[in-house]
Amino acid sequence: MYKIKKLPKSQIEIFFEVCAKDLEKFYKEAVLEFGKEIKIEGFRSGHIPEKIIEQKVGKMAILEEAAEEAIRENYQKLISENSITPISQPQVEILPARNASHSDAGGKLALGDDLEFKIRVFVLPEIKLPDYKKIAAGVKRKEISVAEKEVEDSLLWLQKSRAKLSLKNEAAQKGDFVEIEYSSPQLESGKIYKDAFFLGEGHFIEGFEQNLEGVKDGEEKEFTIKDKNFKVKIKSVQKAELPEIGDEFAKSLGKFENIEALRQNIKQGITMEKESKETGRLCAEILDKISEASVCEIPEVLVLSEKKRTPDLPEDQIKKRVMNSLVLREIGRTEDIKVSDEEIKEEMDRFLKQYPLPGRQAGDIKTAENQFDAERLKEYIKDAIINEKTLKLLESFTKN
**Is residue 109 within 8 Å of 115, Cβ to Cβ?**
yes
Residues 6+ apart with CB under 8 A from 53: 31, 34, 35, 38, 62
- For the chain, give the percent of residues with pLDDT over 90: 75
Q: What is the pLDDT of residue 374?
A: 80
Distance CA 4, CA 116 (A): 14
Provide the residue-wise pLDDT of the chain in tens; the chain has 400 residues: 899 999 988 999 999 999 999 999 999 999 988 888 888 777 777 778 888 888 888 999 999 999 999 999 999 999 999 989 999 999 999 998 766 544 444 557 888 889 999 999 999 999 999 999 999 999 999 999 999 999 999 999 999 999 999 999 899 999 999 999 999 999 998 999 999 999 998 789 999 999 999 999 999 999 999 899 999 999 999 999 999 999 999 999 988 999 999 999 999 999 999 999 999 999 999 999 999 999 999 999 999 999 999 999 999 999 999 999 999 999 999 999 999 999 999 998 888 887 765 554 555 556 656 667 788 889 999 999 999 999 999 999 997 6
CB 60 within 8 A of CB 95: no
Using DSSP bridges, classify how beta strands 115-122 and 91-94 pair: parallel, antiparallel or unpaired: antiparallel
Domains in the chain, CATH or no CATH each? 2-123 (3.30.70.1050), 163-241 (3.10.50.30), 275-396 (1.10.4030)
Q: Which helix (H) or strand (E) holds 17?
A: strand 11-18
Digit-coded pLDDT (tens) for 72-126 = 999 999 999 998 999 999 999 999 876 654 444 455 788 888 999 999 999 999 9
